């Protein structure tokens, strides 16, 4: 065998080994060696708003924190994965999932039949009702039915928008809770529908706000969301959530943000 032939053979072998290593490592968690179909090997890429206190927001130092942030970080630690957050507005949050740019969404996504047709959900990690928030002096709204013909501020792709629309409200589109509550306090809308925990945190942080809860639904469940082809990943996330529930981590995170266990 000539030196040139031997060199070419060695090069071909090294190329095959490199390609094999790439194909077997892509999507694998740090432990277990299973292909979870991750966008980046060894990393759980998570879509979140970063502006939805107390679930996902930036503290005074600029660090991304929040209830959902800590939950998904604890899950990733159980799976021996790094976490990479991609922040986006709510109305575009599913686009990254559909395009495969992110692996999951952790942003208080409520489980409903329409979403279950398109996506996979983990076990719920939050149980909380949706509420109608109005100004304190407004007694014209005491139920969801009273929203008929009233102006509400909602993100158009949210579960809260569906509740307002079904009640017959005249919906003003907004990007998130901060904008909705600003319009409400200015009297430019009559109400906004959102998560009860969001309102309670807002009241605790900014109160007295001059706002009140006028009506609420039965408790809804929120969970981690993944694309339909991520069955193995969701199963692993469920296993991690079970462990975190059993060892008290979920309850501890919940107590930190809400003073109560809202995980079940």
Give residue 54's pLDDT.
93
Fold for the domain defined by 43-126+222-258: D-Maltodextrin-Binding Protein; domain 2 (3.40.190)
Give residue 205's pLDDT.
86
Give residue 157's pLDDT.
86
Question: Locate tokens 């017959």: which residue?
Answer: 168
Q: Which of 170, 227, 181, 220 is nearest to 203 (CA)?
A: 181
Give the CA distances from residue 189 to residues 83, 178, 180, 193, 228, in Å, rounded to whole numbers and listed in that order.
Answer: 38, 14, 8, 11, 37
| Count of CB atoms situated within 10 Å of the CB of 168 | 13
SS3 186: coil
SS3 222: strand
Q: Which of 79, 82, 95, 81 is nearest to 47 (CA)?
A: 95
As a whole number of angstroms, the distance between CA 264 and CA 252 comes to: 13
Fold for the domain defined by 130-216: D-Maltodextrin-Binding Protein; domain 2 (3.40.190)
As a whole number of angstroms, the distance between CA 223 and CA 98 comes to: 17
| Count of CB atoms situated within 10 Å of the CB of 223 | 25
Spatial CB neighbours of 22, under 8 Å, sequence gap ≥ 6: none
Residue boundaries of the structural domains of the chain: 43-126+222-258, 130-216
What H or E segment, with its residue span, contains residue 145? Answer: none
Per-residue confidence in pLDDT tens, the chain, 264 aa:
443 344 444 444 444 333 333 333 344 444 445 789 999 999 999 999 999 999 999 999 999 999 999 999 999 999 999 999 999 999 899 999 999 999 999 999 999 999 999 999 999 999 999 999 999 999 999 999 999 999 999 999 888 999 999 999 999 999 889 999 999 999 999 999 999 999 998 988 887 899 999 999 999 999 999 999 999 999 999 999 999 999 999 999 999 999 889 998
Give residue 22's pLDDT.
39
- Two tokens at 143? 């139920």
Q: Which of 62, 37, 38 is nearest to 51 (CA)?
A: 62
CATH topology identical between 43-126+222-258 and 130-216: yes
As a whole number of angstroms, the distance between CA 45 and CA 52 comes to: 19
């Amino acid at each position: 065998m000539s030196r040139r032939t031997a060199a070419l053979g060695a090069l071909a072998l090294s190329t095959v080994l490199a390609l094999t290593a790439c194909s077997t490592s892509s999507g694998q968690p740090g432990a277990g060696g299973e292909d979870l179909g991750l966008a980046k090997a060894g990393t759980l890429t998570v879509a979140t708003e970063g502006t939805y206190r107390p679930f996902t927001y930036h503290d005074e130092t600029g660090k991304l924190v929040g209830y959902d942030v800590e939950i998904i970080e604890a899950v990733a630690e159980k799976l021996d994965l790094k976490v990479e957050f991609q922040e986006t507005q709510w109305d575009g949050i599913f686009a990254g999932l559909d395009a495969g740019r992110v692996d999951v969404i952790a942003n208080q996504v409520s489980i409903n039949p329409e979403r279950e047709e398109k996506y996979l959900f983990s076990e719920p990690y939050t149980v909380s009702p949706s509420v109608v928030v109005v100004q304190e002096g407004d007694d014209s709204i005491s139920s969801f039915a009273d929203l008929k013909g009233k102006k509400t501020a909602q993100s158009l792709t949210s579960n809260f928008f569906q509740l307002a629309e079904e009640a017959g409200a005249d919906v003003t589109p907004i990007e998130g809770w901060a904008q909705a509550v600003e319009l409400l306090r200015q009297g430019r809308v009559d109400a906004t529908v959102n998560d009860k925990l969001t309102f309670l945190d807002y009241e605790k942080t900014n109160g007295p706000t001059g706002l009140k809860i006028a009506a609420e639904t039965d408790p809804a469940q929120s969970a981690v969301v993944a694309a339909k082809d991520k069955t193995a990943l969701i199963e692993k996330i469920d296993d991690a959530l079970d462990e975190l529930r059993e060892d008290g981590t979920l309850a501890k995170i919940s107590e930190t943000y809400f003073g109560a266990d809202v995980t079940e």
